[in-house]
Structure 1
Amino acid sequence: MESFSKTEMQHTLSPIDGSVFVSRQLADEHQLLACVEQATAAYNSAEASWKLTPLSQRKALCKQAIEQLLSHKEDIAKELSWMMGRPIRYAAGELAGVAERSDYMIEVCQQALADIQLEEKPGFTRYIKRESLGTVLVIAPWNYPFLTAINAIIPALLAGNCVILKHSAQTPLCAERLYQAFKEAGLPEGVFQYLHMSHANTAKLIAHEQINYVAFTGSVYGGQMVEKAACGRFIGVGLELGGKDPAYVREDADIDSAVETLVDGAFFNSGQSCCGIERIYVHQHAYDEFVSKAVTLTKQYQLGRADDPSVTLGPMVRTSAADFVRQQIADAIEQGAIAHIDEALFPLSQNGTPYLAPQILTDVDHSMSVMTQESFGPVVGIMKVSTDEQAIRLMNDSDFGLTASIFTQDIDLGLELGERLQTGTFFLNRCDYLDPALAWTGVKQSGRGCTLSQLGFEQLTRPKSFHIKHR
């Protein structure tokens, strides 16, 4: 294995004012290897092997860890606002989702991890066990730093794996908060650890022979780098890589409900959501009403510092991200798109800053990058369609396939249309929500693998068959 790069400092700049919010020294080679050795020892220990710890005990410890995490929700909310720019009024809400997802996974793990019993065969006993893998490396992003991490951490631990968490350089305190919660809950040493690492060292860690699975959430480019680092190791790699999620509003839809739901789906978290709404197709008979009401609602957002309780739209995570969206908007307008939101309504929205006004574009088409490339910002294009067939074709005309939504009062027809969409999750009359009982997965460049639901445990275990012949 190649040598690890030398240690260096990591500085997290707050999108609120550009100041250094937190600095951390990145792990050196000794710390990285010691972390892996500790996880391996905790997994295989003859005296206190985590994989042999009773499931009831693993469940209790995970539950206690989440309770410990939630007890610090006010402080965590402030940290989130400063690290990634989410308005303080919404920041603590992510922890409610952590509790919901964790509770569900703890509830269903007994069934999800149970042995698979086969029909009786005279003279034989046969069954299939679900065995843990070993050490799981979780690489988490900054946009939903606790939710995305917990999707893999809790089922991995419940299944009997040890976990090493590498969090985004933008949200390092999230890794430390999770570590502290599990430590206070009483997890044995080495079962859950974190590392602040450079990209180069992360790639080399993935190549380490004692890393048995990688759960990555991030960009398509990042997913390609993870696959490359794991190439030839024959380990599982779960990739959640984002999307360009569409919605279709049919002529018979409840327009007020569709507007409220989709505007929130497009602009919550400043549009920085993997399953956020990035393109909307509206039937021509509902188009004018939908656009008018969507523009009116969007103008009500308050853009400002994330630590201001009155603010409903915070800055993007960094200026370069805002500049990318600005360029998409400018290119679309140059190609004939119409911008409906006057940026002057949002005085803080200025070039050279991460503060960006929300924008609705019409007269858009798929020759424009704003309708085909992931924006990950507060912009949405709205396109008029004349038929269901046209809408489905345009919704599927994408390199991504994470979620897709249809709004209609005809449930049966909506389901029929949903069957034809190339997507991991189909929503009817809602969007931008993860139900922990449902598999979270994507197709095409949205990635591969699965988290949440009972199926999520299958990614973090391996089947082992038992075939016993009796005398």
Structure 2
Amino acid sequence: MEAVNPATGEEVETYETQTEEDVDDALDRATDAFDEWRARPLREREELLEAAGDVLRENKREYAETMTREMGKPITQAVSEVEKCAWACDHYAEHASAYLQPEHHPSPSGSTVKTVYEPIGPVLAVMPWNFPFWQVFRFAAPYVTAGNVGLLKHASNVPGCAKAIEDVFREAGYPEDVFQSLLIPSDLVDDIVEDDRVRAATLTGSGPAGRAVAATAGENLKKTVLELGGSDPYVVLDDADLDAAVETGAWARNQNGGQSCIAAKRFVVHEAVYDDFLDRFVEEIDSYVVGDPMDEETDVGPQAKPSLMDELHEQVEESVEAGANVALGGEPMDREGAFYPPTVLTDVPEGCPADTEEVFGPVATVYEVSDEEEAVEKANDTQFGLGASVWTEDRERGERLARQINAGCVYVNQLVKSDPRVPFGGVKESGYGRELSEVGIKEFLNEKTVWVE
């Protein structure tokens, strides 16, 4: 398994892929670890998670550089990602006990009835490369603290990140095998999901990958949580603060090289402010520094792999052939590495790739609408339903429109983000289930009714 720097094309390091026999051994060890781990007092598990947060902060530059070398994230954004992981650890170290308190119910006189929350066993996590630390910690921090044990199948282009995350738990003092990284090819995932020793699975990734895991899990009566991408609308109404909408929108599309499920992708702008917004939007994006991701001044680094850049450019080319106009960018950069410039498309025809598909890179599509009803209609005109943003100076108007948009989360006058304090997840083709907050920690628990007469 090779890690290749997308900024240079050079091999970073090679890792030995684990075999089916290695996986079988790992599942045995995970099962044994679960028997001991679930019996640990919750307060001890919280303290270990707090220690994991400390390990992350102490080594954040090292972990950030691993991310940047393997998938091209600009170094300042990589450092922020590690810090966010530490925040998630802090959150569940502080709140897990409250989230998992037994819930009491009305009952006959002399009896006590309550729901208690118990772990179910080893949980497989199939995670993507775009946020190689955060995606893992938003699953591991709650699920492992609740008493489950974790098995990580990370993306094949970030094996160093996978091993580093395993080391975080080890250095924090976790018992051996409570969290394991499996460096395996994707064709072993189905067998793991089918295995009786694995009790649930969570996946963040593509629709086909999610369907495959869900189908196998369903056949084996195992619960899944899926986050499968998005094409998030960013609605700018006629009374929006354009300075804020432009600045935040440009960053919401281009941070992490535009490689984010919850990035703002389709900009739906009221005709009264369309021209002004578009001019400022293009100017703001054009000011971004594209370059060496190890440089602190870089805003946009390379795409994670040359093949991904090629797919992105094919979507742009097909959309332009269909009639879309390129207001900025639109061609791979003439330099070493998988660099694609921040791009803005207007006059995007209905049905072209940039209109209907998830565009996973720094390409924004901008639409003009005549009123808020048309804005909501366009926002909902997608197979996805992960997140959305609405921009208006009228907070009541913003909340009213937020209720009309079909998405797992809608932010008014803010970019879409995942936050450990609130549930995160999507509807429609963006998946099901929720991560984070109290809802997230309970996804893979047995909600057991205990009636004592």
TM-score (norm 2): 0.97
Letter in 2 for 1:293: R
Which position in structure 2 is the counterpart of 1:161?
Answer: 148
Letter in 2 for 1:398: T
State how far apart, in whole Å, the 1-side matches of 2:324 and 2:293 are: 30
Which position in structure 1 is the counterpart of 2:380?
Answer: 396
Which position in structure 1 is the counterpart of 2:357?
Answer: 373
Select which of 30, 36, 46 maps to 2:21: 30
- Kindly state the Cα deviation for residue 191 of structure 1 after the two structures are TM-superposed: 1.2
Letter in 2 for 1:439: P
Asked if the contact 1:278–1:371 (Cα under 8 Å) also holds between the matched residues in 2, the reply is no
1:104 aligns with 2:88: no
Question: Per the alignment, in what secondary structure is the counterpart of residue 417 of structure 1?
Answer: helix
State how far apart, in whole Å, the 2-side matches of 1:279 and 1:138 are: 29
Matches within 5 A, 1:29-48: 29-44=20-35
Letter in 2 for 1:183: R
Residues 343 and 214 of structure 1: CA distance in aligned 2, closer, same or farther (over 3 Å) = closer
For residues 124-160 of structure 1, what are the alpha-carbon distances to aligned partners after superposition, in whole Å with 9 as ceiling and x for unaligned?
2211111101111111111001111111101111111
Which position in structure 2 is the counterpart of 1:227?
Answer: 214
State how far apart, in whole Å, the 1-side matches of 2:353 and 2:40 are: 51
1:335 aligns with 2:322: yes
Asked if the contact 2:7–2:337 (Cα under 8 Å) also holds between the matched residues in 1, the reply is no
For residues 246-287 of structure 1, what are the alpha-carbon distances to aligned partners after superposition, in whole Å with 9 as ceiling and x for unaligned?
011000000010000000001111100110011101100100
Which position in structure 1 is the counterpart of 2:371?
Answer: 387
State how far apart, in whole Å, the 2-side matches of 1:154 and 1:433 are: 18
Which position in structure 1 is the counterpart of 2:8?
Answer: 17
1:119 aligns with 2:102: no
Moved more, 228-237 or 217-226: 228-237
For residues 319-344 of structure 1, what are the alpha-carbon distances to aligned partners after superposition, in whole Å with 9 as ceiling and x for unaligned?
12111221222222222222112569
Which position in structure 1 is the counterpart of 2:397?
Answer: 413
1:246 aligns with 2:256: no
Which position in structure 2 is the counterpart of 1:5?
Answer: none
- Kindly state the Cα deviation for residue 435 of structure 1 after the two structures are TM-superposed: 2.2
Moved more, 223-232 or 280-289: 223-232
State how far apart, in whole Å, the 1-side matches of 2:386 and 2:347 are: 25
Matches within 5 A, 1:190-229: 190-229=177-216
- Kindly state the Cα deviation for residue 352 of structure 1 after the two structures are TM-superposed: 9.3
Q: CA RMSD in A?
A: 1.5
Asked if the contact 2:323–2:349 (Cα under 8 Å) also holds between the matched residues in 1, the reply is no
Select which of 417, 438, 450 maps to 1:466: 450
Which position in structure 1 is the counterpart of 2:292?
Answer: 305
Asked if the contact 2:75–2:295 (Cα under 8 Å) also holds between the matched residues in 1, the reply is yes
Matches within 5 A, 1:273-284: 273-284=260-271
Moved more, 255-264 or 320-329: 320-329
- Kindly state the Cα deviation for residue 403 of structure 1 after the two structures are TM-superposed: 0.2
Question: Per the alignment, in what secondary structure is the counterpart of residue 377 of structure 1?
Answer: coil
1:77 aligns with 2:61: no
Asked if the contact 2:203–2:210 (Cα under 8 Å) also holds between the matched residues in 1, the reply is yes
- Kindly state the Cα deviation for residue 391 of structure 1 after the two structures are TM-superposed: 0.7
Question: Per the alignment, in what secondary structure is the counterpart of residue 400 of structure 1?
Answer: coil
Asked if the contact 1:270–1:316 (Cα under 8 Å) also holds between the matched residues in 2, the reply is yes
**Percent identical residues:** 31
Residues 375 and 343 of structure 1: CA distance in aligned 2, closer, same or farther (over 3 Å) = closer
Runs of 4+ residues deviating >3 angstroms? 350-353
Asked if the contact 1:425–1:440 (Cα under 8 Å) also holds between the matched residues in 2, the reply is yes
- Kindly state the Cα deviation for residue 58 of structure 1 after the two structures are TM-superposed: 0.3
State how far apart, in whole Å, the 2-side matches of 1:184 and 1:381 are: 45
Gaps of 5+ in 1: 1-9
TM-score (norm 1): 0.93
State how far apart, in whole Å, the 2-side matches of 1:439 and 1:427 are: 13
State how far apart, in whole Å, the 1-side matches of 2:452 and 2:420 are: 37
State how far apart, in whole Å, the 2-side matches of 1:149 and 1:413 are: 36
Question: Per the alignment, in what secondary structure is the counterpart of residue 389 of structure 2?
Answer: strand
State how far apart, in whole Å, the 1-side matches of 2:106 and 2:330 are: 67
State how far apart, in whole Å, the 2-side matches of 1:164 and 1:377 are: 29
Gaps of 5+ in 2: none
Asked if the contact 1:155–1:460 (Cα under 8 Å) also holds between the matched residues in 2, the reply is no
State how far apart, in whole Å, the 2-side matches of 1:351 and 1:379 are: 19
Count of aligned positions = 453
State how far apart, in whole Å, the 2-side matches of 1:91 and 1:200 are: 29
- Kindly state the Cα deviation for residue 94 of structure 1 after the two structures are TM-superposed: 0.3
Asked if the contact 1:323–1:351 (Cα under 8 Å) also holds between the matched residues in 2, the reply is no
1:294 aligns with 2:278: no
Asked if the contact 2:124–2:153 (Cα under 8 Å) also holds between the matched residues in 1, the reply is yes
Asked if the contact 2:52–2:86 (Cα under 8 Å) also holds between the matched residues in 1, the reply is no
Letter in 2 for 1:40: T
Question: Per the alignment, in what secondary structure is the counterpart of residue 333 of structure 2?
Answer: coil
Asked if the contact 1:124–1:467 (Cα under 8 Å) also holds between the matched residues in 2, the reply is yes
- Kindly state the Cα deviation for residue 123 of structure 1 after the two structures are TM-superposed: 3.0
Residues 229 and 19 of structure 1: CA distance in aligned 2, closer, same or farther (over 3 Å) = farther
Moved more, 111-120 or 57-66: 111-120
Question: Per the alignment, in what secondary structure is the counterpart of residue 328 of structure 2?
Answer: coil
State how far apart, in whole Å, the 2-side matches of 1:401 and 1:145 are: 23
Question: Per the alignment, in what secondary structure is the counterpart of residue 272 of structure 2?
Answer: helix
1:441 aligns with 2:425: yes
Which position in structure 2 is the counterpart of 1:179?
Answer: 166
